[in-house]
Amino acid sequence: MPEVKIRERRMFYEDHGRGFPVLFGHSYLWDARMWEPQVAALSRAYRCIVPEIWAHGRSDPPPHSPYSVDELAEDMWAFAQALGLSRFAVVGLSVGGMWGMRLALNHPEAVAALVLMDTDAGAEPEESRQRYFAMMAAVEQAGALPPPILEALVPFFFSPVTVQRDPDLVARFKANLAAIPPERLPGILAIGRGIFSRSSVLERLGEIRVPTLILVGADDVSRPPHEAKRMAEAIPGARLEIIPEAGHIANLERPDVVTPLLESFLAQALGSWHGR
C-alpha cells in the first residue's frame, strides 16, 4: 500500500485505475477496504484513491487529541497536493463526508463533484454527543473494545435488515474492531472526539456550487435522513437519494443500489472527463 508524509506522519492509501481522480473518504472505525465494491466498478473509468485517516487502517496516529474534522480536511488537501491532484471528485461517507464538504468549501477550485453519504454538516446533537463520549470513555478505561461495546455499536452502523440478511458483514466489522491493538486506540479516540465535537458548517453549504449527490440509508440512526434532507435543501441543485434497507454503511449494505447511483452521477457530473 503506498503512503505519503503529512505533518511528519505516514498516511497510507489505495490507488486503482486511470482517469479523472475520485477521492474516497471512509467512515470512522473503518478503513480503505470499505470502498472495495465501488472501487472495483468505478476504477474502470476513473482513478480511485482511498486515503486512510489517522489511526485507521495502516496510517499513523494523529498529532494530538482531539483531532478536529477541520484539521482532517486540511490534511486531505495536503494529501491531494502530495499526489499532484489539481482537480478531483470527492465521495465521502460519515467523517469522509464531513472532511469532504469542508474540502469543497475551503478549496472550491479543486473539487469538481461531491458525494455526501450518511453524513451531516451540523454539529453533533448534544444527546448523541454525550452518548458517544461516554462510549469512548469506556473504551479508554478498558484499553480495548470489549464485546458489550462491539454489540452496542452494531445498530449505529447497520440496518436491522442488514443484521438479518448479511450477518457475515456484521461479524467482520466486529472482528476487525476486536483485533485493533491497544496501542492504536488512543489515536482512534482522538479522531472520534474531534468528530463528535465538530463545529457546524450548515450556514456555509450555499457556497457549494458543484454537482452534489447526497445519499443516506433509510435506517441510518447515526446520521438520520432528516439531516441529509437539510443538506440537500441548503446546497444549490443538490440531489437526494434515500437508500432503502440500509443503515450508516449504505455502500456495503446496498452496493446494488449505491454503485449504479455513483456511476451515473459521476458520468453526468464530470462530463467530458468520463472515461479518460
Q: What percent of the chain has pLDDT over 90?
A: 98
Each residue's pLDDT tens digit, 106-147: 999 999 999 999 999 999 999 999 999 999 999 999 999 999
Question: How does residue 271 score in pLDDT terms, banded at 50, 70 and 90?
Answer: confident
pLDDT at 265: 98
Cell numbers standing for residue 42 = 468505478
Structural domains counted in the chain: 1
> Per-residue pLDDT averaged across 44-71, rounded?
97
pLDDT at 276: 42
Range of the domain at 136: 3-273
Each residue's pLDDT tens digit, 146-180: 999 999 999 999 999 999 999 999 999 999 999 99
- On the question of pLDDT at 273 being above 90, the answer is no
Task: Give me the CATH number covering residue 201.
Answer: 3.40.50.1820
Each residue's pLDDT tens digit, 194-220: 999 999 999 999 999 999 999 999 999
pLDDT at 275: 43
Nearest CA to 177 out of 154, 155, 196 is that of 154
> Per-residue pLDDT averaged across 229-255, rounded?
98
Cβ atoms within 10 Å of 179's Cβ, excluding its own: 8
Average pLDDT, the chain: 97
Cell numbers standing for residue 1 = 500500500
Which amino acid belongs to residue 116? L
pLDDT at 272: 61
- On the question of pLDDT at 96 being above 70, the answer is yes
CA atoms of 89 and 110, how far apart (whole Å): 8
Please identify which residue in the block is written with the cell numbers 489517522: 54
DSSP H or E stretch at residue 151: helix 147-157
Orientation angle between helical segments 185-196 and 69-82, nearest 10 degrees: 110
Total number of residues shown for the chain: 276
CA atoms of 170 and 163, how far apart (whole Å): 7
> Per-residue pLDDT averaged across 84-94, rounded?
98
